Structure 1
Amino acid sequence: MKTIGWMSGLIGVVLISQSVMALPTTEAVQPSSIAGRWQGTFNDKYPMSFLFSPEGKLVMVFGMNGAEPTVLAGTTVNYKVDATTKPMHLDITIPDAKEPVLTIADLPDPQTLQIQMSDTNPGKPRPTKFTDQTKMQKVSDRAIEPLDAAKFTQAAQSSEAEGRIVMQALAQSALFSTVESGKFPTTLEELGLPTNNTANYRYQLQTQPKQITIIARPKKANLKSYISVVVTGTERKIDFATTTVCQSIRPSLFAPPLPRLGSPFAPNDSRAVCGIGSEAVKF
């Protein structure tokens, strides 16, 4: 994945330098209007999502294998924002960097966040104007993307799409929740799913010490089945979390085999390996 500025620093430093999950903040941060979960693309190509907590923790989730990723990886850093300036001053603390990344941010409207990403690195002067078009749209006020009545009804009306849409949302919310809190969610309700039993699917969440598994089993013989895992681990004394979703290649009433997730530390192994008879779903 081609990145520039502090984005490459995040992937190259945060995921390879030290443990950052549930990293404690060192300074009090006032709640700001940028708090919440945001989603967009970097360079109009690479998916990324940020969760700014009011306490100064920033959860960052990136696709690990290109512009149409099948694996997402998440970690946390600290941030500080000064909303009294225009544009806002945003400081991001990256592990092992002696100085923070100094950049600027703006809210063109309450649902849109613009962040200057190009030409920003630890120790570099803060930019004074926006030179790139990186904008993110607000997804939720918290880690979980609620599957509200309108969205869930829309997904359920398209029986073929329901499993994929719901499982993608559940996997991403589970990843954000796990990275933010340092522990796995234990119920589907925690992930914003109002019911685990729809006209088309039965949904199930299973917890284990190092991973959770989410399954969507269809009730109709003409629908595909789905499975997702969120995995945490420690490598080189680093904590990390990753997720993927696999679907059956053909309609099936049975869940696909458990997928295997490669390590985010190994670029050539950062993809999902779905079991026989299944394939990875693009986020």
Structure 2
Amino acid sequence: MRNPVFNSPKLLAKFSALSQWIAYSLLLGLLTSTSNSAIALPTQLPLVAQSQSTPTTNRVQTQLQGRWEVKDPVSGQTLTLIFTPDNKLFMLLPLGSGAPVALPFGYRINPTPKPMHLDVILPEPNQVVLTIFELTDKGQLRLQLAGTNPGQPRPTAFTADADVFQKISEETTLPPDVLTAADMKTQGEQMTADLERQAQTARETEGKLNVAAMSRAQQAFQLEFEKFAPKFEDISIGFQPETDNYSYRIVPQGNQTQSVMMTARSKRPELRSYTGAVFVVKSETNDMITITGTCETDQPSSKPPAMPATPRQSTDKIKCPVGSHLVGR
């Protein structure tokens, strides 16, 4: 799975185990309802592996702590690793043109073998990536990322495409402009909520616009036939009486010459319903004209508002029944 927020396939391909988790946590977890445990560090991180030479372990551990960077020569993007004294490893990935995101892992080392062993502990239970590293005479970190996956044997030697990181700082804390996985989860949840609100607004706009279109079609029908159309197929409109969001109806009133009611009944629990009304009333010059209005339920409802009361004259504002309000005329 390709991660859409990290545009360096070369770097991701080198550490497929991490890239799989990155894609999972960012693309799926952060934009849906992934639990907090999916992005949290394990409750107890394994300690640094001990050997007969404790001073060597401490020296290597101390050398490893800090911030390391490697740049992709093709894209120019930078991958940053931060090793902390308490066995946490943060991978900082570029997030488009904005602040990078820090993904948390655990780690443990064994400095005795040559090359030395590094275990990267993924947040998912029992997911560990076994790899090798060395600290060169030039103060660089050579790390075998290519060809590593959870459950696979540890590589025994560096390959030609092993990455060489430069140490840029002894700091072991996250930079202030970095987003954490928790930040990404919050942003993803907010984005999801915003998208849901936009989708709801778009669906409700369908109901309002279609009821308004039915009202205009009824005005045209009344002008030609001096009565209102009793059936949906009698008026020319560009939509069907049933959509994914609404069920539309014409509800004739009386002898069909003085008023007509059109409804949009919500088929989704989060949507409001609508009633459109067209009335024949006297104008200020005593001519008979039609006026329209659309009532929207105050809350999501599968029951459209009742028919508004008939206005006495053309200048009167249509009054929607209790539990609804006027949204168009």
Compute the TM-score of the two structures, normalised by the length of structure 1.
Answer: 0.48
Q: Which has the higher strand share?
A: 1
Q: Which has the higher helix share?
A: 2
Compute the TM-score of the two structures, normalised by the length of structure 2.
Answer: 0.42
Which one has the largest radius of gyration? Answer: 2
